[in-house]
Amino acid sequence: MGSIRIAIVGVGKIAKDQHVPSIAGNPDFALVATASRHGKVEGVPSFPDIESLLENVKDLDAVALCMPPGPRYSAALTALRAGKHVLLEKPPGATVSEVDDLVAEAARKRVSLFATWHSRFAGGVAQAKDWLAGKTIRSVRIDWKEDVRKWHPGQAWIWEPGGFGVFDPGINALSIVTDILPMPIHLTSARLQFPENRAQPIAAELVFADADGPDRASATFDWRQTGPQTWDIHVSTDNGELLLRSGGDKLLIDGQTVVDSGDAEYAGIYWRFAELIAARESDVDLRPLRHVADAFMIGRHEFVEPFED
Amino acid sequence: MGSIRIAIVGVGKIAKDQHVPSIAGNPDFALVATASRHGKVEGVPSFPDIESLLENVKDLDAVALCMPPGPRYSAALTALRAGKHVLLEKPPGATVSEVDDLVAEAARKRVSLFATWHSRFAGGVAQAKDWLAGKTIRSVRIDWKEDVRKWHPGQAWIWEPGGFGVFDPGINALSIVTDILPMPIHLTSARLQFPENRAQPIAAELVFADADGPDRASATFDWRQTGPQTWDIHVSTDNGELLLRSGGDKLLIDGQTVVDSGDAEYAGIYWRFAELIAARESDVDLRPLRHVADAFMIGRHEFVEPFED
């Protein structure tokens, strides 16, 4: 059993598919409890909410917050005030503003706050970042197209205000590009397509500039893609072409495969969390969420055909 | 003539009404040029754009950027790269992300970047902040209701994507509350009303929480108010009631008037800019813009009757 006693709060699909096995596979952690309205993990004590968890599990060190972004702030604040290290699933909050307040609270309590971006731990990302360092970027092209019915079956909250819509997967792409590019980018225009019967977009087209010019990067996010799924980032530089495929698992340089890895994102997240806790540091990068907020703020809204689950 | 040689870029209504007289009234500044596609200031050399301004006025120290937020980033970057101090009209950019890049550039060049929020310089604001310091805030109520036809006659860009709509005045209220409240707040829900024929909201209802509970603050922004105009902020505390009226010009404590000032906001801005330049410091607070981006991101969009100018 690992020395960091952790609890999962919000036991849904992502917790069961990713967090439970990643914690089990990491020698630094021991899953000692869960808190969730409905979900449980076999063999682990469960509580209905974070308050009863904190009251009953006295020697808890850390919590992983896996519920939707809406209620995450209040759970995070409760855990930080109790002196626990906190891991936030992505996106780290419903708003940009609230996460800054959590950073301040973590600093006051001298505990670690980790706003995770799981796609940054895909097998090809670190090497892509190394390869791009020092190069001049000519253009960046992001294609992030998947079938919402396959990945979010019946998840009504993603279509509600604050649910992010197609930016729920799209923010994964933004978390990778903000990590690997050697220069900052900012949005200059966006087109958001809302199904007539939904409050969140099903598709988006984004255009970004950098300090040296407009149209440096563009992105298409689309939740209507059936058949093969596309999660690709192309970066054209003064010294070669980079392609991250399959959400970052595969890396090609000038057409040659240099990384072809399986899914190991959440294992990487927990290694990093253990490292942060050991150093009593936080890791909160809000750039991906800020780009999404910018897209909603300056985007042109369009309506498309209704979406039925 | 003042020792800081400044140029105005973007000579429209706000530049003529406020910046020109405020610069003229400040002994630290001398207005030596303008750059604008159309507008000019009598007796001052004018240039068509910032590039020709910088090329022709070699001993320029600073620029005040008064154009709409869309083209502001590129002008600001150009001026910063040329080593000029930069004053940004509100809002400081079209996106939250781009302003952060400007902060980094100002630091590299060791010049001052000042993201102004003119309402923070209204006569009652500093005293309101002092009075609230250390008090427990029970509730905050913002009413910001004005007639768009009176204040933005025929300004088409405010209705376009990136034009902010009713958040153009509303962000003034947000700039005051983020300044005077002793604790951070964050948005928990928003309702945005878009005229059917416009891309930006004509009215908004916002609800904010703080770390100690939900519904701590609420705001109504409305651009459809004819007759008397309302720019009021009520703050209820454990030790009395505060009311800022007329956009902050008037301050009442427990019903008694303690400040009743005329409009001196832009004079205050230029005093502060001179102070920043002398200290080689920047002042960029993005919280008001972040709240607006959050509102677009998590707000429920509704459609209301068309608006014709």
Distance from C-alpha of B214 to C-alpha of A76, rounded to nearest angstrom: 15
Taking contacts as CB-CB distances below 8 angstroms, the residues of chain A near B187 are 95, 97
Structure tokens at A301: 């809204």
The tens digit of pLDDT for each residue in B172-201 reads: 999 999 999 999 999 999 999 999 999 999
Interface test with B, best of A294, A300, A301, A302 (most B CBs within 10 A): A294
Nearest to A163 by CA among A192, A197, A201: A201
What number is the ipTM of this complex?
0.95
The tens digit of pLDDT for each residue in A64-78 reads: 999 988 889 999 999
- Those residues of chain A whose CB sits closer than 8 Å to some CB in chain B are 73, 77, 94-98, 100-101, 104-105, 161-162, 184-190, 199, 209, 211, 287, 290-294, 296-301
Q: Do B290 and A77 touch (CB under 8 A)?
A: no
In angstroms, the separation between the Cα of residue B106 and the nearest Cα of chain A is: 13
Q: Do B298 and A95 touch (CB under 8 A)?
A: yes
Residue A62 pLDDT: 98
Residue B262 pLDDT: 86
Query: Active site residue: B13, B40, B58, B90, which one?
Result: B90
In angstroms, the separation between the Cα of residue B234 and the nearest Cα of chain A is: 22
Nearest to A294 among B96, B101, B300 (CB): B96
- Mean pLDDT in residue range B192-221: 96
- Helix, strand, coil share of chain A (percent; to 5): 35, 30, 35
Distance from C-alpha of B142 to C-alpha of B177, rounded to nearest angstrom: 9
In angstroms, the separation between the Cα of residue B306 and the nearest Cα of chain A is: 16
Residue B135 pLDDT: 97
**Residue with the larger pLDDT of the pair B69 and A159:** A159
- What secondary structure, in 3-state letters, does chain B show? CCCEEEEEECCCHHHHHHHHHHHHCCCCEEEEEEECCCCCCCCCCEECCHHHHHHHCCCCCEEEECCCCCCHHHHHHHHHHCCCEEEECCCCCCCHHHHHHHHHHHHHHCCCEEECCHHHHCCCHHHHHHHHCCCCEEEEEEEEECEHHHHCCCCHHHHCCCCCCCHHHHHHHHHHHHHHCCCCCEEEEEEEEEECCCCCCCEEEEEEEECCEEEEEEEEEECECCCCCEEEEEEEECCEEEEEEHHHCEEEECCEEEEECCCCHHHHHHHHHHHHHHHCCCECCCHHHHHHHHHHHHCEEEEECCCCC
Cβ atoms of residues B173 and B119 within 8 Å: yes
H helices of A232-286, where? 265-279
Taking contacts as CB-CB distances below 8 angstroms, the residues of chain A near B189 are 161
Confidence at A1, pLDDT banded by 50, 70, 90: low
User: Domains plus CATH for chain B?
Assistant: 4-115 (3.40.50.720), 122-260+293-304 (3.30.360.10)
The tens digit of pLDDT for each residue in A159-209 reads: 999 999 999 999 999 999 999 999 999 999 999 999 999 999 999 999 999
Structure tokens at A264: 């190991």
Confidence at A262, pLDDT banded by 50, 70, 90: confident
Q: Do A299 and B96 touch (CB under 8 A)?
A: no
Cβ atoms of residues B69 and B164 within 8 Å: yes
Cα dihedral angle (B8, B13, B16, B19), rounded to 10 degrees? -60
Judged against a pLDDT cut of 80, whether residue B1 lies above it is answered with: no
Is B90 a known active-site residue? yes
Q: Do A161 and B189 touch (CB under 8 A)?
A: yes
Ramachandran angles phi, psi of B40, nearest 5°:
-140, 165
Q: Do A298 and B94 touch (CB under 8 A)?
A: yes
User: What residues form DSSP beta bridges with B283?
Assistant: B114
Interface test with B, best of A74, A81, A95 (most B CBs within 10 A): A95
Residue A277 pLDDT: 98
Cβ atoms of residues A46 and A33 within 8 Å: yes
Residue A215 pLDDT: 92
Residue A140 pLDDT: 98
Residue carrying the six token digits 């896996």: A66
Distances from the Cα of B178 to the Cα of B125, B144, B300, angstroms: 11, 15, 23
In angstroms, the separation between the Cα of residue B211 and the nearest Cα of chain A is: 8
Question: pLDDT over 90 for what percent of chain B?
Answer: 93
Judged against a pLDDT cut of 60, whether residue B43 lies above it is answered with: yes
Look up the pTM and report it. Answer: 0.96
Residue A70 pLDDT: 85
Judged against a pLDDT cut of 90, whether residue A264 lies above it is answered with: no
* Contacts across the A-B interface (CB distance below 8 Å): 94
Residue A68 pLDDT: 87
Q: Which chain A residue has its CA at the smallest distance from B72's CA?
A: A188
Nearest to B291 among A97, A184, A188 (CB): A97
Beta strand B213-222 with B203-210 is antiparallel
Q: Do B161 and A294 touch (CB under 8 A)?
A: no
Average pLDDT over all residues of chain B: 96
Q: Do B184 and A287 touch (CB under 8 A)?
A: no
Handedness of CA B41, B44, B48, B51 (dihedral sign): negative
Q: Is A78 left (phi over 0), alpha (psi -120 to 50) or beta?
A: alpha
Is the preceding peptide bond at A69 cis, omega within 30 degrees of 0?
no
Q: Do A97 and B161 touch (CB under 8 A)?
A: no
Report residue B6 CA to chain centroid gap. 20
- Mean pLDDT in residue range B206-217: 95
Distance from C-alpha of A86 to C-alpha of B16, rounded to nearest angstrom: 51
Distance from C-alpha of A160 to C-alpha of A156, rounded to nearest angstrom: 7
Distance from C-alpha of A107 to C-alpha of A290, rounded to nearest angstrom: 21
Q: Which amino acid is at B174?
A: L
Long-range CB contacts for residues B93-96, cutoff 8 Å, separation at least 24: B93/B69, B93/B289, B94/A188, B94/A298, B94/B69, B94/B70, B94/B162, B95/A186, B95/A187, B95/A294, B95/A297, B95/A298, B95/B293, B96/A96, B96/A290, B96/A293, B96/A294, B96/A297, B96/B286, B96/B289, B96/B290, B96/B293
Residue A263 pLDDT: 80
H/E element, A226: none
Average pLDDT over all residues of chain A: 96
Distance from C-alpha of A244 to C-alpha of A179, rounded to nearest angstrom: 13
Judged against a pLDDT cut of 60, whether residue B231 lies above it is answered with: yes
8-state DSSP, A101: H
Is the preceding peptide bond at A91 cis, omega within 30 degrees of 0?
yes
Q: Which amino acid is at A20?
A: V
Q: Is A44 helix (H, G, I), strand (E, B) or coil?
A: coil
Q: Do A98 and B186 touch (CB under 8 A)?
A: yes
Taking contacts as CB-CB distances below 8 angstroms, the residues of chain B near A291 are 97
Work out the angle at residue A51's Cα, subtended by the Cα atoms of residues A48 and A55, and round it to the nearest 5 degrees. Answer: 105
Residue B17 pLDDT: 94
Distance from C-alpha of A238 to C-alpha of A217, rounded to nearest angstrom: 15
Nearest to B125 by CA among B274, B250, B308: B250
H/E element, A239: none
Q: How many CB atoms lie within 10 A of CB A55?
A: 11
